[in-house]
Amino acid sequence: MYANKSNTNTLTKHAEWAGCTHSRMTVMESIDCLDQLIDESDPDVDFPNSFHAFQTAEGIRREHPDKDWFQLVGLIHDIGKIMALWGEPQWAVVGDTYPVGCRFQNSIVFRETTFVENPDDKNSSLNTECGIYKTNCGLENVFMSWGHDEYLYQVMKFNKCPIPEEGLYMIRFHSFYPWHSHGNYMHLCNEKDLKMLPWVKEFNKFDLYTKSTELPDVEQLKPYYQSLIDKYCPGVLSW
């Protein structure tokens, strides 16, 4: 888990990645790329992230068999980590996320040690409860620290994938632990955010607790999940 991302860094990475000009591939091809990635920030996993994708999806499928979009989100939620295969260091891709442009809350992982040289922490205009934002402005108007969550969210929006809003919140905020696990940053939330929060919490049960050294038979599962990809994220996407 990593921190120390600043407002300036976030805006730079938005400009660099949110235009989806780095590659073109299908969703299943992008999942296959995760065979090459082991998340160094995750103490529970020492196998490629592609297996975690199917473990999460299958956990959701067992408890929510009627919500195919939810199952798909479980499969794709970590694909944004593909940036680590395209030159981004892992610390800039994985780990917990948090808002930039306002005071860093104490619940952010490694809060006391990794913001020492972060200029935002010494900027009086940013180092207040709301910073550059207004109370109840809504998380859609907040810049989150750049990482795999925000990148995949931007990819889904850019390619106009018809995933329900609940699923987009899961993708964008599943690493936002200060919010969904510690109850911080509620002053920035609007009614929509509070309505979506239980969905993010529900997703994180599967993200956290389906990890196992008993790895799924990916080839057997692929046809089913390809059908979900064809429904919600068909064809070749821009990344």
How far apart, in whole angstroms, are the C-alpha atoms of residue 55 and residue 215? Answer: 8
Q: What is the pLDDT of residue 2?
A: 43
Contact 1, 95 (CB under 8 A): yes
- CA geometry: angle at 14 spanning 37 and 121, to 5°? 95
Binding residues for Fe cation, by number, are 52, 77-78, 148, 174, 207
How far apart, in whole angstroms, are the C-alpha atoms of residue 138 and residue 166? Answer: 15
Q: What is the pLDDT of residues 107-123, one digit of tens each?
A: 998 787 778 778 888 88
The alpha carbon torsion through 41, 44, 45, 46 (nearest 10 deg) reads: 90
Contact 158, 171 (CB under 8 A): no
Which of 201, 229, 188, 200 is closest to 103 using CA atoms?
Answer: 188
- With a cut of 80, say whether residue 44 has pLDDT above it: no
Pick the residue with more confidence: 82 or 40? 82
- With a cut of 80, say whether residue 206 has pLDDT above it: yes
Average pLDDT, integer, range 213-237: 93
Binding residues, by number, are 52, 77-78, 148, 174, 207
Q: What is the pLDDT of residue 175?
A: 95
- With a cut of 60, say whether residue 177 has pLDDT above it: yes
Contact 167, 73 (CB under 8 A): yes
Mean pLDDT across the chain: 89
How far apart, in whole angstroms, are the C-alpha atoms of residue 217 and residue 26? Answer: 21
**Domain parsing of the chain, residue ranges:** 7-238
Average pLDDT, integer, range 187-206: 97
Pick the residue with more confidence: 238 or 13? 238
